[in-house]
Amino acid sequence: MRHGKKINHLGRTASHRNAMLSNMATSLILHKRVTTTVAKAKALRQFVEPLLTKAKDDTTHSRRTVFATLQNKESLKELYGEVAGRIATRPGGYTRILKLSDSRAGDNADMCIIELVDFNETLLEAKNAGEAKATTTRRSRRRGGKGGAEVAGNESGTSAAVVADAPAATTTESAPADTASDTLTNGETREEAEKAE
């Protein structure tokens, strides 16, 4: 039974486990992503996220506390320099675990990549492009041809230019009024049917 067992011991003694997690946290901070097993990645996430939260408060006390855990000056400099600047507005969840499809050859362990969320440039670019595309499409459909200049005036950046161009492409036809059930034959339009009557 695993009642009350809050941490995964990873088959190691406490000193070995702390040293391993400290080294992995240093590698994660310096290289922004580490390939490891799923169990180690989950243990590393619990280990490194409190350190990242402490790095948001750049005081002598927090630096000494983090250095006592990491024991590496280069990673401390990177953490309080570039990393803390990027995660300053994020309220938690600084890491992401991406599971890999293939497992390790020797023991068939499930492998994954653990990375810092704010440093994956490809996902950030895709997210920003997706948000820009989604907002312009939604606004061009909702607004139709009304107020193209207002939309361009309210928005800023490239999305405003795309939104301003979008209404020109759409047409502003009103829907025809409903009539009594007329039957249209062979591609005949409603106007032609009215003329024939």
Question: Any idea what the CATH number is for the domain that residue 112 is in?
Answer: 3.90.1030.10
134 lies in the same domain as 107: no
77 lies in the same domain as 160: no
63 lies in the same domain as 150: no
- Strand positions, DSSP E, the chain: 33-37, 95-103, 110-116
Closest CA to 87 of 41, 32, 24: 32
CB 48 within 8 A of CB 79: no
139 lies in the same domain as 87: no
Q: List the beta bridge partners of residue 113.
A: 35, 98
27 lies in the same domain as 111: yes
Count the domains in the chain: 2
Parent domain of 106: 14-119
161 lies in the same domain as 138: yes
* Tens-place pLDDT, residues 156-178: 555 444 444 545 544 555 655 55
**Cα–Cα distances in angstroms (integers) from residue 88 to residues 74, 91, 179, in the given order:** 20, 8, 61
In a domain? residue 181 = no
User: Between 128 and 181, whose confidence is greater?
Assistant: 128
> For the ranges 54-58, 107-111, 152-156, which has the lowest average pLDDT?
152-156
pLDDT at 151 over 80: no
| pTM of the complete model | 0.64
Tokens describing residue 131:
């948000």
> For the ranges 28-32, 84-88, 154-158, which has the lowest average pLDDT?
154-158
* Tens-place pLDDT, residues 105-148: 999 999 999 999 988 888 778 888 887 776 655 555 556 555 55
Three-class SS state of 184: coil
In a domain? residue 194 = no
C-alpha gyration radius of the chain: 29
Rounded distance between C-alpha atoms, residue 5 and residue 171, angstroms: 64
In terms of residues, how long is the chain? 197
Instruction: Using the 3D structure, point to which of 119, 152, 185 is the last residue of a domain.
Output: 119
114 lies in the same domain as 126: no
H or E segment to which residue 89 belongs: none
Tokens describing residue 101:
């499809």
**Sign of the dihedral through C-alpha 137, 142, 148, 150:** negative
159 lies in the same domain as 109: no
pLDDT at 16 over 70: yes
